[in-house]
Chains A and B, each alone.
Chain A
């Protein structure tokens, strides 16, 4: 809302300049900024035109002599409306005009000009103006222009949703008053003695108070300058005197008002009722709105004539011919106004105020104020009036205990100061022993309980008005300092650290997906959004995959050759939300490197590399990677594995199904693990240190030939069992896998192992090692038919 600085001063006398006022109001919870200072120039003074000559080289220009009473200046001027004896504003050399225009000494078509005679638009007073700004002929010369114009500043204030009472000049003035301990002055209002007329019918749940005034014989015409100016400053377009007065009173006192043309109503009876489901109304903006039973309407016998609190009907509006009017000042159910305003996507200065709640007394004040002004400005006679109150208004009474103030705030506020602040907020106070009884004024419907009053005290004192000595003391602590709980589960921290070291980038995706995206990955949806405003928000993700895959495609499209991402977040599965971690990788494991290029090594992510990464980051050997007997459909059925923790399958890894990856030539590796189990499990190493012998290892290489269909894990099983009984074989690694049909029979494959032997007590002999190797080969042959490759 826009507020005029000068207008505020009419309500209350204060010493702040506009900028100070903005910061005072901000410190009181009303965010305020100075949007325009009308006076944004310097060095502009009033001068008298003494002489005018034609410019020798330019027919449209004239050479003027002007004087500020002390010195005279020669100025080149292009305006047609200049004439002798005028008082005009002169921007002297060194002046700065709006738009940062600097006035310098200049030669215009060969003639010196010592400044510029300004128009209103050049001074930023109006958007458009014709010719120079001619001031009243009695204006003193040599005076700064801003002093002549008594210029105003406009403030933009942002009021929190609970403070509807601040949406007016009076409201803001009340706030300033509380701060500087002054009572604002209210405009003089004459309550007229007019007959009461029963002409309004309203339900108490829709409209607790409705004040209607009949005025006949008004003359519609343009508003006087002071009203039009006031509206323009506040960003409201003047229309005609009567309508302008309702708006004027609204920004003055905060109460939205409405006027109807009585002649256009079918009855003298006014109804405040719910709209029927099939009703419609053409509003003042020319649009037709279909209404329903949540909408409050003002209606005559036949039809709605306004959407209550939001907008008037076009038909019943004021026009030039209007003579008899009905002036409405009412209080409507704020919840319904808000609902309807949102439903119709129609909001107005009026609905903005009604939604935030209005003061009971202000409705009456505003009704009289507007009536007085209409009679004064537009003439007419007040014929009748009705003040319909469908509920009995009771003011809120709260008792405030002094001891409670310091208990909540943490610092003492003197009793006197508490009482003083409350008084200047318009609260009626009655002192008791340890407390004060407060009667809350009708406009402060946000104050409901004791703490609300405590906030008022802190707010008016200023939140920053706390002695530094108090701030320096340490906050008392009764909570024990925390152990190792972090935002991320320990296992995720572990994954992140390791993957970061391996060159992976962490990503975050939205929790939403489009339904179509699920199909592609053959995923089931468990949570649909009932009210999505866009397609992107249709469902909650049942897997991290679709978004990660989208990230991959995006980066491929930018020419990336390597993508290695990980993400931690919640997925929304059959039984609710689950903490999940996923990895996606594709492309070159390393960037091309000149040294390797010579050797033609350009490794790419594939199943075995990816699985190696997974194996590396899993925090303990309690995690086992096993054959995947029930792979997700998004995996390549032959290139996938399962992660098992304590007998429970918790994740899968593998190459994405080529049906999904389609055009991407290389393998895309994906790993997803369910972390819900691990919230409370600590993976710090728990096993004890083992002593180790310093004797050297004896290493032997052997190659064996096995059946291709035999899973390597079977061979591992045999070797593992063998290692348990034969304790000098300590380690084996696979260093070559080879299948070449020209060399071996069909379906045969060769594995080469490096076996490491050691005896902790003594150096091994060849004989011992050979014996152990022979025993292993025997085992492999008898159990799996594996032979030594000759």
Chain B
């Protein structure tokens, strides 16, 4: 072992266990004005050119090594200090101490409408809107519900002005008429909105509620297309391939008419309280546009056919969240709202 190598070895050993102050001492011991390595470099003139080169090279190399070793040790010490500091600063991370940001919420009905619309948009539907104050023509007559028809009784109507036949729409179907009046086929729209029925409210009835109406008119639109689109909607809205059943029914504005049942979400069709042991839940009404409806907007029902469907948003939302009283939606109790 050469002299320099020995010096370095000794220095390295010292560094290993030094604290910050000792490191400073080591630095001056070796690199200071009278430091060991400084001295060696100063004495180089005593040697031969060849030795000078060799010793100078080794000394400088030793110096670089030592310096980086000291730096390493210093960083190590600093890291240890921070680690210790962090350990001392350890907090109780129980969530009760966290800042209580108030949580916002969206109303479940609005949310359901938005979800449905996104689904319908992905199926190629546009969105249209109609007024809530309607006339007898749009709400009833244009939809093939004549004056004395029993269907008018089922949909107990709020009248605003009996002279002008102003009323609150009892369904979103007048939206169909307004869309068809405005444009020619092809039409593919959904009409969401608020509707009103003049009936006393209870756990499953509300004077105000929401519907989404769908309408498609074109050449060659068929009942089969309706089945396909609604099945797709249901599968995509519930994110599950629920069984879907089409059942003949009766609506003034469609013929053929159908009601659509889906496999009960709660028992998966085995039968439970919610589906009254039938395994099915009534989801929506639909059908092929009645020729009289097409006629009321001057469409040629020989040339064009169309389908329409409508569903109650509250009902579906109640099923989705197992809510048993429709009035909860309009009470706006924070204990309810915050759950959504």
B330 contacts chain A at the CB level, 8 A cutoff: yes
Q: Smallest distance from the beta carbon of B84 to chain A beta carbons, Å?
A: 25
Contact A554 B332 (CB under 8 A): yes
Cα A409 to Cα B117 with chains together (Å): 26
A606 contacts chain B at the CB level, 8 A cutoff: no
Contact A530 B162 (CB under 8 A): yes
Closest chain A residue, CB of each to CB of B252? A162
Chain A residue numbers with a CB within 8 Å of B196 are 511
Choose among A339, A536, A558 the residue that contacts B335 (Cβ–Cβ < 8 A). A558
Given A410-B224, A512-B207, A527-B133, are A562 and B104 also a contact pair (CB < 8 Å)? no
Chain A residue numbers with a CB within 8 Å of B208 are 510-512
B73 contacts chain A at the CB level, 8 A cutoff: no
Cα A282 to Cα B92 with chains together (Å): 82
Chain A residue numbers with a CB within 8 Å of B127 are 482, 485-487
Contact B150 A479 (CB under 8 A): no
B222 contacts chain A at the CB level, 8 A cutoff: yes
Chain B residue numbers with a CB within 8 Å of A507 are 107, 332, 337
A293 contacts chain B at the CB level, 8 A cutoff: no
Given A33-B278, A458-B223, A485-B127, are A408 and B159 also a contact pair (CB < 8 Å)? no
Contact A530 B105 (CB under 8 A): no
Q: Smallest distance from the beta carbon of B214 to chain A beta carbons, Å?
A: 12
Stretch of A23-31, A81-89, A698-706, A763-771 at the chain-chain interface: A23-31
Give A488-512 as 1s and 0s: 1 = Cβ < 8 Å from B's Cβ atoms: 1000000010011111111111111
Contact A537 B188 (CB under 8 A): no
User: What's the tally of chain A residues with a CB closer than 8 Å to chain B?
Assistant: 94
Contact A338 B153 (CB under 8 A): yes
User: What's the tally of chain B residues with a CB closer than 8 Å to chain A?
Assistant: 85
Q: Smallest distance from the beta carbon of B323 to chain A beta carbons, Å?
A: 14
A730 contacts chain B at the CB level, 8 A cutoff: no
Choose among A452, A475, A500, A529 the residue that contacts B229 (Cβ–Cβ < 8 A). A475
Stretch of B1-9, B41-49, B243-251 at the chain-chain interface: B243-251
Chain A residue numbers with a CB within 8 Å of B291 are 449, 451
Interface centre among B117, B127, B220, B247 (most CB of A within 10 A): B247
Q: Smallest distance from the beta carbon of B227 to chain A beta carbons, Å?
A: 7
Closest chain B residue, CB of each to CB of A458? B256
Contact B198 A486 (CB under 8 A): no
Chain A residue numbers with a CB within 8 Å of B154 are 161
A659 contacts chain B at the CB level, 8 A cutoff: no
Contact B278 A487 (CB under 8 A): no
Choose among A355, A530, A560 the residue that contacts B161 (Cβ–Cβ < 8 A). A530
A633 contacts chain B at the CB level, 8 A cutoff: no
Contact B132 A508 (CB under 8 A): no
A459 contacts chain B at the CB level, 8 A cutoff: yes
Interface residues of B in 201-251 (CB under 8 A from A): 206-208, 216, 218, 220, 222-225, 227-229, 231-232, 245-250
Contact A500 B223 (CB under 8 A): no
Given A338-B153, A411-B224, A463-B246, are A502 and B104 also a contact pair (CB < 8 Å)? yes
Contact A537 B218 (CB under 8 A): no
Stretch of B17-25, B54-62, B94-102 at the chain-chain interface: B94-102
Choose among A355, A477, A564, A565 the residue that contacts B150 (Cβ–Cβ < 8 A). A355
B148 contacts chain A at the CB level, 8 A cutoff: yes
A16 contacts chain B at the CB level, 8 A cutoff: no
Contact A508 B224 (CB under 8 A): no
Q: Smallest distance from the beta carbon of A435 to chain B beta carbons, Å?
A: 14
Contact A591 B102 (CB under 8 A): yes
Chain B residue numbers with a CB within 8 Å of A98 are none
Chain B residue numbers with a CB within 8 Å of A26 are 247
Q: Smallest distance from the beta carbon of A407 to chain B beta carbons, Å?
A: 7
Contact A476 B220 (CB under 8 A): yes
Stretch of B27-35, B75-83, B108-116, B135-143 at the chain-chain interface: B108-116
Contact B305 A408 (CB under 8 A): yes
Give A568-592 as 1s and 0s: 1 = Cβ < 8 Å from B's Cβ atoms: 1110100011000000000000110
Choose among A463, A540, A593 the residue that contacts B258 (Cβ–Cβ < 8 A). A463
Contact A470 B224 (CB under 8 A): yes
Contact B288 A558 (CB under 8 A): no
Cα A554 to Cα B331 with chains together (Å): 9
A-B contact pairs, 27 of them (CB 8 A): A33-B276, A161-B154, A409-B256, A410-B225, A411-B222, A446-B250, A451-B290, A454-B255, A463-B248, A466-B227, A475-B229, A479-B125, A479-B126, A482-B127, A487-B113, A503-B101, A503-B104, A505-B337, A506-B106, A506-B110, A509-B332, A529-B160, A530-B159, A558-B333, A558-B334, A562-B102, A576-B131
